[in-house]
Amino acid sequence: MLTIAWDVDDVLNDLMYSWYHSKWLVEKPTKSVRYEHLVENPPHNILGTSAEEYLKSLDEFRLSDKYESMGPNKEVLKWFDEYGEHCRHIVLTSVPLNCAHISASWVVRHFGKWVRSFNFIPSSRTGVVIPLFDKTKSDFLQWLNNVDVFIEDNETNYKGAKALGIKTLLVDRPWNTSRLSMNDVLTKLTKMIEKETE
């Protein structure tokens, strides 16, 4: 049985879209920058702000009820409903330590039928000093040594996992160079499952 590792933010959900529309644009309305224009992640330069202000806003979103009430990606949820039982699933996310419990709760609430393991790389935040077991997602994947397929939206994480020989699929988002829509990714996963069970 294949083991699939899923990124959480912007893969199982649409964090950037939700944050941008229900927090950033509400507090700093502009018509000149649309979600599609966020071709860098983090997007602070495009938004004309500092990295610190962007992260502060994103962490506030995570700690408010807005993250908690965000829906799951409907296409992905539908795929899990149909094919989820044919693979093992874990998540691997980068999130600051003080927000990790919210992410874990969100994942288990929406995907706990299938996802049985929540793993995170604590994102660096000023003043937070904690043990560093893994610097990157690929460090973690190498240590775990048990993942067949990895689904990501971050190009650096994608390249790192690929370099380990893990079949990695990069979901098309404005800030990466992928041309694989979520539907393409899910179709590829379905084919992998079918091939494995032939």
| Contacts with Mg ion, residue ranges (CB under 5 A) | 7, 9-10, 153
Spatial distance between the Cα atoms of 26 and 47, rounded to a whole number of angstroms: 14
The minimum distance between CB 7 and Mg ion, in angstroms, equals 4
Least distance (Å) from Mg ion to the CB of residue 29? Answer: 26
Q: Which of 29, 25, 105, 112 is CA-nearest to residue 65?
A: 105
Q: Between 8 and 131, name the residue whose CB sits nearer to Mg ion.
A: 8
Judged by beta carbon, residue 7 or residue 14, the one nearer Mg ion is 7
Whole-number Å distance between alpha carbons of 106 and 100:
10
> In degrees rounded to 5, what are phi and psi of residue 71?
-80, 160
Q: Which is nearer to Mg ion, 9 or 24 (CB)?
A: 9
State in angstroms the smallest separation of the CB of 46 from Mg ion. 17
Nearest distance in Å: CB 84, Mg ion: 20
14 vs 153 by CB, closer to Mg ion: 153
Question: How far apart are CB 110 and Mg ion at their closest, in Å?
Answer: 15
* Residue with Cβ nearer Mg ion (86 or 102): 102
Give the pair of three-digit tokens for residue 85: 């039982």
Nearest distance from C-beta of residue 198 to Mg ion, angstroms: 32
Nearer to Mg ion, 80 or 150 (CB): 150
The 8 Å CB, 24+ separation contacts for 52-61 are: 52/126, 55/125, 57/19, 57/23, 57/24, 57/27, 58/19, 59/96, 59/98, 59/99, 59/125, 60/23, 61/18, 61/19, 61/22, 61/23
CA–CA gap between residue 13 and residue 19 (Å, rounded): 11
Question: CA angle 187-136-154, nearest 5°?
Answer: 40
